[in-house]
Amino acid sequence: MGWGGGWGTEPLDDAGREAVDATARQALGAALAAGITTVDTADIYAHGRSEETLGRLLAAEPGLRDRFHLQTKCGILVGGSPLHGEAATRYDSSPAHVRASITASLARLGTQRIDTLIIHRPDVLTDPAETVGAYLEAQAEGVVGRLGVSNMPLAWVRRFDDALRAASGGAEGLVCVQLEMGLHRRALVESVVLANHPEAAPSAGMGGLVEFVRERGITLQAWGSLAQGMFTRHGPGEATAAAVATVAGVARELETSREAVVLAWLVRLPWGIRPVIGSLTPARIADCGQAADVARRMDAEQWYRLWTAARGEQLP
């Protein structure tokens, strides 16, 4: 999401494009070197400039596109964006908008195929079966591979997956669900562990999601998993001081980076979670590449210690 020079609405000049391209090139190189082979973007990120930046990198280096899995999102129209000119932000997963979004993303990316198309937010005015129909048409044309959803409650994840399985004759279901998850966003974990307890956090429709996606073979992707450096880069505030100190302590014990510890807390869960890394800094990206190994070495005591520190109180 950070590619493309931020959320300003003014177009970049030549110097601005060169700067964002250099930053993105370094980030992508660091990711590939760390074994990270999925690139996640969206049509709205930096008002389309994120996709355009990646498109320029692909055009400059033949063969680069074959080195990673590409996923992008559609379904949000941002109020005031030069992309849409909407007066207010709204969600649109109608077949017409999905088809137009795919065409526009392919043009910005300069590629012929999106490996995974993700519906960014639930559009309550559109039946998921209609959205699925538009996706399957694009799949038949060879321009998209799989379908995922983002920021949706269990009921909508189920509706999309059921619709896709029905329309494809059971040949496929959703490939992924994206949610904000991490030490700072623990509601999904706590909806499971703190069931039947007054301290259970409101599930916002997520109760039962873990069991559902595991039964159906849908991958959980965790966006915002580094919490914008809350536990790793910034000086701790009063509310996070204990968690920051605990992350640093576990990092020392495991002889690794704090970024790897924060991600490993998610990866350690036996749910197959794949964190989405938003950093542009090559060194931090390299540190994140250690997360899977750190998760294997992180013991239960360390995992629960991190959780308790992030909660700010003992488990019941």
Active site residue 135: no
More confident residue, 188 or 106: 106
What distance lies between CA 99 and its chain's CA centroid? 22
Say what the pLDDT of residue 244 is. Answer: 94
Q: With beta carbons less than 8 A apart as the criterion, state whether 264 and 291 touch.
A: yes
Strand 90-91 and strand 38-40: the pairing is: unpaired
Please determine, for residue 316, whether its predicted confidence score (pLDDT) is greater than 90. Answer: no
Please determine, for residue 127, whether its predicted confidence score (pLDDT) is greater than 90. Answer: yes
* Paired tokens of 290: 């250690």
In the predicted model, what is the mean pLDDT of residues 31-55? 97
For the chain, what are the domain ranges? 175-316
What percent of the chain stands above pLDDT 70?
97
Question: Nearest Cα to 267, choosing from 296, 247, 243?
Answer: 296
Distance, CA of 128 to CA of 158 (rounded, Å): 10
Threshold 0.75, pTM exceeds: yes
Q: Mind giving me the DSSP string for 111-140?
A: -S-EEEEEE-S--TTS-HHHHHHHHHHHHH
Q: With beta carbons less than 8 A apart as the criterion, state whether 72 and 103 touch.
A: no
Query: Which of 45, 91, 135, 304 does the annotation list as catalytic?
Result: 45
Say what the pLDDT of residue 150 is. Answer: 98
Say what the pLDDT of residue 203 is. Answer: 65
In the predicted model, what is the mean pLDDT of residues 275-281? 94
More confident residue, 202 or 89: 89
**Which residue has tokens 């036996």?**
270
Distance, CA of 220 to CA of 88 (rounded, Å): 30
Helix-then-strand count for the chain, H and E: 12, 9
Task: For domain 175-316, give the CATH number.
Answer: 3.20.20.100
Torsion, Cα 216 191 274 283, to 10 degrees, reads 180
